[in-house]
Amino acid sequence: MPSLPHRDHLEQQHTPTAIAARLGQARKHSYLGDTVFGAIDGTVTTFAVVAGVSGAHLEPMVALVLGLTNLLADGFSMAVGNYLSTKSERQLVEQARRIEEHHIDTIPEGEREEIRQIFAGKGFDGEILDSVVEVITEDRERWVDTMVAEEFGLMLHGPSPLRAALTTFVAFVVAGMIPILPFCFDLTSGGSVAFQSSAVATGVTFFCIGLFKGRLLGQSSLRSGLETLLMGGAAATLAYVAGLWLRGLLAS
């Protein structure tokens, strides 16, 4: 786990000037979740195809063709889904803002009372509470922002839908290519060597994704790597077993 910053370093970061500069910067959204989700799903999805084909004892070329086709189609589908989901969140915030603007125009005293009760619930009272309500409600944009965040529980500054989609797609394709690569170089051994290499490469990929996530989040890299390997391996095993079952079903 990364060491925590030293007290002197923290004090330098928390001077009035440093705080003002940091808070004045544009808010940056983390796309770590999109990266990890895309990478894990891409690896699981393509290895599921490879494992299913190998379990059914089909030709290696089938694994390669189906794997590549599935990689591009599912990667694009994931990206579109993430784009629409993220865009919907933005539209939800815009709708909440319109609602609150209408309420403020129509029943301003009722909206002031909502602000009062929200901050009273946070422990403010008396003259301090009166001052908080006055400061917030004297600026319309601040008033609306506060209501959207506190009443609706929405993030005012969400991720970019396009960037979220691209991050998911790139992570999906890059990680998802790894289980397929052994089949690009081995189409003559019946697929057994390629499948074994693919299984090892997929396991290493799962573990590395977990290491990456754990390091960025300041968690135990080993534990995060093993956790990702275990969950990804379970999905891959399920796909292989399903391939064996289908082969037996078709053969009977």
User: CA torsion sign, 195 to 199 to 200 to 206?
Assistant: positive
Q: Read out DSSP for 71-90?
A: HHHHHHHHHHHHHHHHHHHH
Amino acid at 200: V
Q: Can you give the pLDDT at residue 47?
A: 86
pTM for the model: 0.76
- 131-186 pLDDT, tens digit per residue, is 999 999 999 999 999 999 999 988 888 889 999 999 999 999 999 999 998 888 76
> Which range, 101-105, 232-236, 238-242, is most confident?
101-105
Give me 220's structure tokens.
């135990």
Give the model confidence (pLDDT) of 110-119 as tens digits. 999 999 999 9
CA distance 66 to 45: 11
* Pairwise CA distance, residues 139 & 142, whole Å: 5
Residue 1: is its pLDDT beyond 50? no
Residue ranges per structural domain of the chain: 31-251
Measured CA to CA, the distance from residue 94 to residue 77 in angstroms comes to 26
